[in-house]
Amino acid sequence: MRTPPDSSAFRTDIQGLRAIAVLLVVLYHSGVAVLSGGYVGVDVFFVISGFLITTHLLGTLQRDGRLHFADFYARRARRILPASFAVLIATVVASAIWVNPLQFTQVLEGAVWTALYVPNYLFAAQGTNYLAETIPSLFQHYWSLGIEEQFYLLWPALLAGSFLALRRRAALLTWVILAVGVLSFIACLLLVARVQPWAFFSLPTRAWELAAGGLVAALLLRRPAWATTRLAGIGAWVGLAAVIGSGFVLTSSTTFPGTATLLPVLGTAALIIGGSQATKWSPARILSLSPMLFIGKISYSLYLVHWPLLQIPQAAVGYDHPLPVWVTLLLGLAAVPVAWLSFRFIEEPFRTSTRAKKARPATTLWATAAASGVVAAVALTGMFVTNATPVSSGRDVQVSAALTVPPTVPPFVPANLAPPLRASGNDNAIVYSDGCHQEEGDSNSDGCWFGTDDRAPSVVLFGDSHAASWFPAFDELAEAGKIRLNSNSKSSCGSVLYAEERVKQQRPSCDVWRRAVIDRLRQDPPDVIALANFATSRLGGEADPRTAWSEALAKTIAELPSQSRVVILADTPDFQVTPALCLSAHVDDTSACAVPRSEALDDRVRQAEENTDGADWIDLTDRICDEQKCYPIVDNFLVTRDAHHMTKTFASALAPALEEKLDRVLP
pLDDT tens across 500-519, in order?
545 444 566 788 899 999 99
Indicate the pLDDT class of residue 191, thresholds 50, 70 and 90. very high
CA distances from 42 to 37, 329, 432 (A): 11, 19, 32
- Please give the Cα distance from 110 to 380 (Å, whole number): 10
Q: Is the dihedral of CA 540, 546, 548, 554 positive or negative?
A: positive
- Please give the Cα distance from 384 to 507 (Å, whole number): 39
Which distant-in-sequence residues (6+ apart) come within 8 Å of 254 by Cβ?
A: 37, 131, 260
SS3 159: helix
Q: What is the pTM of this model?
A: 0.87
Which CATH number among 3.90.280.10, 1.20.1530.20, 3.40.50.1110, 3.40.50.1100 corresponds to the domain 421-662? Answer: 3.40.50.1110
Q: Would you tell me how many other CB atoms lie within 10 Å of the CB of residue 142?
A: 29
Asked if residues 535 and 549 have their Cβ atoms less than 8 Å apart, the reply is yes
Q: Does the pLDDT value for residue 5 go beyond 60? A: no
Give residue 1's pLDDT: 39
Q: Does the pLDDT value for residue 543 go beyond 50? A: yes
Domain boundaries, the chain: 12-385, 421-662
SS3 139: coil
Mean pLDDT is highest, among 323-332, 437-446, 450-459, for 323-332
SS3 641: coil
Asked if residues 572 and 640 have their Cβ atoms less than 8 Å apart, the reply is yes
- φ/ψ of 651, rounded to 5, equals -60, -40
Please state the rounded mean pLDDT for residues 529-537.
Answer: 89
- φ/ψ of 23, rounded to 5, equals -65, -35
Q: Would you tell me how many other CB atoms lie within 10 Å of the CB of residue 543?
A: 6
Indicate the pLDDT class of residue 211, thresholds 50, 70 and 90. very high
Cis peptide before 406 (omega within 30 of 0): yes
- Please give the Cα distance from 552 to 605 (Å, whole number): 11
Question: Phi-psi region for residue 420, left (φ > 0), alpha (ψ -120 to 50) or beta?
Answer: beta
- Please give the Cα distance from 544 to 360 (Å, whole number): 68
User: What H or E segment, with its residue span, contains residue 293?
Assistant: helix 290-297
In terms of DSSP H, where are the helices of 99-141?
A: 101-115, 119-125
Give residue 6's pLDDT: 55
Please state the rounded mean pLDDT for residues 639-646.
Answer: 94
- Please give the Cα distance from 600 to 336 (Å, whole number): 38
Indicate the pLDDT class of residue 8, thresholds 50, 70 and 90. low
- φ/ψ of 233, rounded to 5, equals -65, -40
Asked if residues 513 and 490 have their Cβ atoms less than 8 Å apart, the reply is yes
**pLDDT tens string 61-118:** 988 888 889 999 999 999 999 999 999 999 999 999 999 888 999 999 999 999 999 9
User: Among candidates 118, 168, 159, 165, which has minimal Cα distance to 139?
Assistant: 118
State which amino acid sits at residue 43: D
Indicate the pLDDT class of residue 540, thresholds 50, 70 and 90. low
- Please give the Cα distance from 418 to 44 (Å, whole number): 46
Give residue 7's pLDDT: 52
Q: Does the pLDDT value for residue 447 go beyond 70? A: yes
